[in-house]
Structure 1
Amino acid sequence: MLRLRRRGADEGQGNPAGWTITWTLEPEGCGTRLFLVHEGFDPDDPFQVQAYKVMGGGWRSIVTEGLGKVLQEL
């Protein structure tokens, strides 16, 4: 497990961010499954809701594509 925590400064755009990203590897069959949990968003803060939407799309597309390319090269 790898857990990273980010605390952002409040720059007049609502509450400061306090996000945690946790990467976990678990065996599955003959392989390994990667789990990613990105939490700590304030659902009452419109800026954090927008960040959640943008980052969620990035995790699903940019990161998974990049990770797939790296794994193919191994």
Structure 2
Amino acid sequence: MLSVRWLDPDPANFANWTLTWTLEHEGRGTRLFLVHEGFDPDDPAQMRARKIMDGGWRSHVMRALGQVLTDL
């Protein structure tokens, strides 16, 4: 497990997020889990950021990670 905290106390861009990557054995392989938490559900700006980042994690980051693993 790798967990990283992202803290920006600036009220204009406040963020207190934690990214946690976990690897779990599954069958003959390994499954990667990613949890990005700490968004304030009452803050519209943070909910927009969450939606944008969710799409980025799912499409760009995971696709690029899959390509790196294929190339190994």
Alignment-derived partner of residue 7 in structure 2: 7
1:10-39 alpha-carbon deviations (Å, 9 max, x no partner): 2435xx110000000000000000000000
Alignment-derived partner of residue 20 in structure 1: 18
Secondary structure of 2:10 counterpart: coil
Tell me how far apart the structure 2 counterparts of residues 56 and 8 of structure 1 sit (CA, whole Å): 19
Unaligned runs of 5+ in 1: none
Alignment-derived partner of residue 35 in structure 1: 33
Tell me how far apart the structure 1 counterparts of residues 21 and 12 of structure 2 sit (CA, whole Å): 31
Q: Which runs of 4+ in 1 moved over 4 A?
A: none
**2:42 matches 1:48:** no
Tell me how far apart the structure 2 counterparts of residues 49 and 22 of structure 1 sit (CA, whole Å): 19
RMSD: 1.1
- How many residues align? The count is 72
- Alignment TM-score, normalising by the size of structure 1: 0.91
